[in-house]
Amino acid sequence: MPVAASDGNRVKSPGTGTDRPQVPRVKKLFPAASAGPQKGRLVSPGFLAGTSHDIRSLLYIIIGFAELLLDEVPGKINEEQRRSLEDILRSGQRLTDLLGDYME
């Protein structure tokens, strides 16, 4: 169990012999999450919108590559590969739909 200073910063992890000030680093990396609840929310709507955009962008890339492979643009695929790519495509589309439903 880490030892903490009165300000909440982790000072030392017993057994490691190293100083590890983690809390300030986390607050610096994730300012929206470390701001705490605001008006009953755990994270701000802007944070969710930005995160949603980032996730959608990655999903569209995954979906696009699966479609390219299914269309055999880079070369022929076998039936097992086709089934796997169809699973990837369906899952990506489902995640996109879920994210859209969640953000509405």
pLDDT at res. 73? 94
How far is Cα 63 from Cα 92, in angstroms, rounded to an integer? 6
The strand order across the sheet containing 18-19 reads 3-4, 10-13, 18-19
pLDDT of 36-84, one tens digit each? 545 555 666 677 677 888 888 999 999 999 999 999 999 999 999 999 9
Residue 104 has pLDDT above 80, yes or no: no
Q: Which residues contact 18 (CB under 8 A, 6 or more apart)?
A: 12
Q: What is the percent of the chain where pLDDT is above 70?
A: 55
pLDDT band at residue 103 under the 50/70/90 scheme: confident
Higher-pLDDT residue of 80 and 98 is: 80
Q: Are 89 and 70 in contact (CB under 8 A)?
A: yes
Question: What burial class does residue 92 get, using C-beta atoms within 10 Å of its C-beta: 0-12 exposed, 13-18 middle, 19+ buried?
Answer: buried
Tell me the whole-structure pTM to 2 decimals: 0.53
Label residue 31 by pLDDT band (50, 70, 90): low
Instruction: Give the H/E segment covering residue 35.
Output: none
